[in-house]
């Protein structure tokens, strides 16, 4: 075993989190700087994973195997393959950005906030690299705690409800998965939690499980992942969690956490239970299509910007599921690619919403209007991200959606046609949002701010009568400034990545090829 690069990438943030907790309470600036530094170092440390990755191999790379609890057959086994590589990089890329975005927004218990973000990063990375079922489960569950605290402590007015809902929904799924993991251990003659061995054994026609057992276990695993995706109708925790979470929490939640469910299907549920997956394909495809359309329609009806984006996530993740369950190379690659796109675009959307919220203290669409005149740079950023989100060619969203729809057409035309309808709806709600916020005459908070006078009665009414609007004395009176240097610092890399992924898709798609082929061969 050579240099344990992967372990360092995974545990560096947690080590930093512990270090932060040792700092004195008063050193808020140092806590911010330290956490940013650590997440940045983690990102840099994760780059060799990408550049040193062998695209032609489907085998586990940068793998480390050590006994952990040998008496119970549990190993510490981690590694990277084409399915997890880009998700790991997405995580290490978005965390420093999320940390930077929270620079001003969080003033209460700063140290703990950043520590929670760093612990969360370790948890997420652990989920993507774990190649032992128990190790995976440990990370999967442990990750809940920091996210729960992020929502529950630093969230909005209904944060406790949202945090509890988030926790309980996830626990319902994962405890059944826990039982299934233990059952799987017993059911396989090799008696192992090793993911590679299990995938090989269980996809082999001679050694796979009986169909009934496959179906039961697929349901147990699938329920847990479907909640996390979230698939319609298990999505109801998401709008609550998004609306109440602080900006950095939303970015991480949308950017990375929502990928765990789809990752789980690709890594565990599909290769372990191939026959059950095939049998479940029509049902999951229908649910995915319903999710696409339902999410889009709900997004159109929202007045709270964060809620709108949350429902758009339900729609986007529907595409990912549809692509994965097309069971062909295009669909699965498209699904994987769309996971990255969604992480970037939606992450960027939440960053932008957070930035404007810090100025206006409202997330109500009606309180905006004509902001493009006030904040031109912001408007340009929002335009790019909006176009990326609706899949304009040249930007990242297009590649993913195109591959998914191509894959879905090959699998079943009906679903593909319906899903295409979702693309149209996506353009409607996203452009509608842009229009309401940025174009037209100055309205609401902006009008009063532009006038430099206390808010007129109309604006105040709108702000007070709508959800998500917090009465913030004096907030309206301050002129609304354009993006600051710090904000550009974290927005520009994300937007740049949107272009890179849109213009040079092959750079990333080729890392996935071998692993996707291996997965397909197991189906």
Binding residues for other proteins (CB under 8 A): 67-72, 134, 137-138, 141-142, 144-145, 149, 152-153, 159-160, 163-164, 167-168, 171-172, 175-176, 178-179, 182-183, 185-186
Instruction: Give the nearest distance from C-beta 111 to other proteins in angstroms.
Output: 10
Element of type H or E holding 232: none
Count the neighbouring beta carbons within 10 Å of the beta carbon of residue 393: 11
Kindly state the smallest distance separating residue 124's Cβ from other proteins, in Å.
Answer: 15
| Nearest CB to other proteins, comparing residues 116 and 296 | 116
Stretch (H or E) spanning 64 = strand 61-69
Minimum CB distance to other proteins smaller for 163 or for 257: 163
| Terminal-residue alpha carbon distance, the chain | 32
Q: How far is CA 339 from its chain centroid?
A: 8
Give whichever of 149 and 518 is closer to other proteins, judged by the CB atom.
Answer: 149
Q: Which is nearer to other proteins, 264 or 426 (CB)?
A: 264
DSSP-assigned beta bridge partners for residue 76: 66
Q: In the complex, what is the shortest distance from the CB of residue 15 to other proteins, in angstroms, rounded to a whole number?
A: 13
Cα separation, 309 vs 363, whole angstroms: 11
Q: Which is nearer to other proteins, 135 or 437 (CB)?
A: 135
DSSP string, 316-340: HHHHHHHHHTT-SHHHHHHHHHHHH
Rounded to 10 deg, the angle between the 110-129 and 85-101 helix axes is 170
- Residues 484 and 32: their CA atoms lie apart, in Å, by 18
What is the spatial distance between Cα 504 and Cα 367, in angstroms, rounded to a whole number? 38
Q: For other proteins, which is the closer residue by CB, 50 or 76?
A: 76
The residue among 149 and 308 lying less far from other proteins, judged by its C-beta, is 149
Closest contact distance (angstroms) between CB of 241 and other proteins is 14
Question: What is the smallest separation between the CB atom of 160 and other proteins, expressed in angstroms?
Answer: 5
Compute the least distance from the CB of residue 335 to other proteins, in Å.
Answer: 29
Q: Which residues contact 301 (CB under 8 A, 6 or more apart)?
A: none
In total, the chain counts a number of residues equal to: 523
Residue closer to other proteins by CB (options 106, 399) is 106
CB contact at 8 A, 341 and 374: no
CA-based angle 287:158:247, to the nearest 5?
A: 75
- For other proteins, the closer of residues 218 and 402 by Cβ is 218
| CB 180, min distance to other proteins, A | 10
**213, burial (CB in 10 Å: exposed 0-12, middle 13-18, buried 19+):** middle
Give me the least distance between CB of 406 and other proteins, in Å please: 40
CB atoms within 10 A of CB 233: 11
Q: How far is the CB of 118 from other proteins (least distance, A)?
A: 15
Burial of 301 (0-12, 13-18, 19+ CB in 10 A): exposed
By the 8 A CB rule, do 129 and 79 touch?
A: yes
Query: Minimum Å distance from CB 140 to other proteins?
Result: 9
Residue found by looking up tokens 């299990």 in the block: 198
How far apart CA 125 and CA 139 sit, in angstroms, is: 8
State which residue, 33 or 153, has the beta carbon closest to other proteins.
Answer: 153
Cβ at position 394, least distance to other proteins in Å = 44
In the complex, what is the shortest distance from the CB of residue 38 to other proteins, in angstroms, rounded to a whole number?
20
**Residue 153 or residue 392: which is nearer to other proteins going by CB?**
153
Decide whether 152 or 230 has the Cβ nearer to other proteins: 152
CA separation, residue 363 to residues 243, 462, 470, 523 (Å): 9, 11, 9, 45
Tokens standing for residue 335: 């699904």
- What is the helix (H) or strand (E) element at residue 112, kind and residue range? helix 110-129
CB of 482 to other proteins, least distance (A): 35
Residue 226 or 497: which CB sits closer to other proteins?
Answer: 226
Residue 295 CB neighbour total at 10 angstroms: 29
Output helix, strand, coil percentages for the chain, rounded to the nearest 5: 75, 5, 20
Nearest to 69 by CA among 135, 3, 139: 135
Closest by CA to 218, choosing from 144, 154, 272, is: 272
């Amino acid at each position: 075993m050579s240099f344990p690069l992967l372990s360092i990438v995974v545990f560096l943030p947690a080590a930093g989190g512990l270090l932060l907790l040792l700092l004195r309470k008063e050193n808020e600036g140092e806590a911010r700087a330290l956490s940013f530094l650590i997440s940045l170092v983690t990102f840099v440390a994760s780059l060799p994973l990408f550049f040193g990755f062998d695209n032609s191999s489907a085998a586990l790379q940068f793998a480390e195997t050590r006994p952990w609890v040998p008496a119970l057959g549990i190993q510490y086994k981690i590694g990277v393959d084409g399915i997890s590589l880009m998700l790991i990089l997405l995580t290490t890329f978005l965390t420093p950005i999320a940390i930077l975005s929270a620079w001003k927004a969080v003033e209460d218990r700063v140290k703990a906030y950043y520590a929670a973000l760093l612990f969360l990063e370790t948890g997420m990375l652990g989920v993507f690299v774990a190649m032992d079922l128990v190790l995976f489960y440990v990370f999967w569950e442990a990750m809940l705690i920091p996210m729960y605290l992020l929502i529950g402590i630093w969230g909005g007015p209904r944060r406790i409800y949202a945090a509890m809902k988030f926790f309980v929904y996830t626990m319902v799924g994962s405890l059944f998965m826990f039982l299934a993991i233990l059952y799987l251990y017993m059911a396989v003659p090799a008696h192992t939690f090793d993911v590679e061995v299990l995938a090989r054994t269980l996809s082999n026609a001679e050694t796979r499980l009986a169909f009934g057992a496959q179906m039961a276990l697929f349901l147990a695993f699938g329920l847990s992942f479907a909640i996390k995706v979230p698939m319609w109708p298990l999505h109801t925790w998401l709008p609550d969690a998004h609306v109440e979470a602080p900006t950095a929490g939303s970015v991480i939640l949308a950017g990375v956490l929502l990928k765990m469910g789809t990752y789980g299907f690709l890594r565990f549920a599909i290769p372990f239970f191939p026959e059950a997956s095939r049998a479940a394909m029509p049902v999951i495809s229908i649910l995915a299509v319903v999710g696409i359309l339902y999410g889009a329609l709900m997004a159109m009806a929202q007045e709270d910007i964060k809620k709108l984006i949350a429902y758009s996530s339900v729609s986007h993740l529907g595409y990912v599921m549809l692509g994965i369950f097309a069971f062909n190379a295009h669909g699965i690659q498209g699904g994987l690619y769309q996971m990255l796109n969604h992480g970037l675009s939606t992450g960027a959307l939440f960053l932008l919403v957070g930035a404007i919220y810090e100025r206006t203290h409202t997330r109500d669409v009606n309180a905006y209007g004509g902001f493009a005149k006030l904040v031109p740079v912001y408007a340009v950023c929002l335009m790019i991200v909006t176009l990326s989100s609706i899949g304009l060619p040249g930007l990242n969203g297009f590649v993913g959606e195109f591959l998914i729809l191509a894959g879905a057409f090959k699998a079943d035309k009906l679903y593909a046609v319906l899903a295409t309808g979702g693309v149209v709806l996506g353009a409607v709600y996203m452009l509608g949002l842009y229009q309401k916020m940025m174009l037209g005459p100055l309205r609401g908070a902006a009008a009063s701010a532009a006038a430099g006078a206390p808010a007129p009665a109309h604006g105040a009414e709108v702000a007070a009568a709508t959800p998500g609007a917090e009465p913030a004395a004096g907030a309206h009176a301050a002129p609304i400034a354009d993006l600051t240097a710090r904000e550009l610092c974290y927005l520009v890399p994300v937007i740049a990545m949107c272009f890179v992924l849109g213009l040079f898709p092959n750079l990333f798609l080729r890392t996935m090829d071998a692993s996707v082929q291996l997965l397909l061969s197991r189906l």
